Amino acid sequence: MVNSQVSAAPPAPRWCAGCGGKIAERFLLFSMERYWHTRCLKCSCCQAQLGDIGSSCYSKGGMILCRSDYIRLFGHSGACSACGQSIPANEMVMRAQGNVYHLKCFSCATCRNRLMPGDRFHYMDGTVFCEHDRPGAALLSGHLPRLQRSPVLTDQKVC
């Protein structure tokens, strides 16, 4: 009788998504479809290490977040600047000059027509006007921002 041992081939080297260095630890930390050193998996906002056992890790808008920062940034997004009602975190919104609106609420203050992505508009003192109803051509600087449909937070870091 011949005893044989099957030895597994050595595992392929893994590279940390945070620092790019080789991971030599015995156990691998795998999160968001990538491998990490424990010290490298950090919250994009507060830099808290998220690689510890029991830590929660969230990802949205290109950011890696701890639970507190995720809730702060993507929990309830606050109130619509037009109607004052709460905006759920998963709802698409319109943004203008730092204010957030329900899609249905982003409309011209004069004619009440709803503005759509790509429409030109004028924003004055917290009030939205369509291009046709803008308050006086003299107020127009010749450049109107393009309306964009976006989630509550863009892919920018907003910590």
pLDDT for 140 equals: 47
Whether pLDDT at 158 is above 60: no
7 is a domain residue: no
The answer to whether position 5 is within a domain reads no
Query: What would the pLDDT profile of 102-154 be if each residue is shown by its tens digit?
Result: 889 999 999 999 998 888 888 888 788 888 888 764 444 444 444 443 333 32
- pLDDT given at position 19: 93
Q: Of 26, 48, 74, at which residue does a domain stop?
A: 74
Domain residues for 92? 76-137+145-152
User: Which residues 6+ apart lie within 8 Å of 135 measured at CB?
Assistant: 122, 124, 129
d(C-alpha 73, C-alpha 158), whole Å? 8
User: Are 47 and 86 contained in the same domain?
Assistant: no
- From 74, 101, 125, the end of a domain falls on 74
What integer pLDDT is reported at residue 139 of this predicted model?
47
Given a contact cutoff of 8 angstroms between Cβ atoms, the answer to whether 134 and 122 are in contact is yes
pLDDT of residue 156: 27
Q: Are 130 and 123 in contact (CB under 8 A)?
A: no
Q: Give the model's confidence band at 55: pLDDT under 50 very low, under 70 low, under 90 confident, else very high.
A: confident
Same domain, 59 and 80: no
Q: Which of 69, 23, 20 is nearest to 43 (CA)?
A: 69
Q: Read off the pLDDT of residues 62-108 as tens digits, 9 standing for 90 and up.
A: 788 887 777 677 665 578 888 888 887 677 888 887 788 888 999 99
Mean pLDDT value of segment 30-55: 85
Cα distances (Å, whole numbers) of residue 93 to 9, 33, 39, 83: 51, 29, 36, 13
The pLDDT of residue 149 = 39
Summarize the confidence of residues 43-56 as an average pLDDT: 82
Last residue of a domain, one of 74, 90, 125: 74
Q: What percent of the chain has pLDDT over 90?
A: 11
CATH of the domain at 41: 2.10.110.10
Average pLDDT over residues 31-42: 88
Cβ(139)–Cβ(129) under 8 Å?
no
Predicted confidence at residue 82, as pLDDT, reads: 87
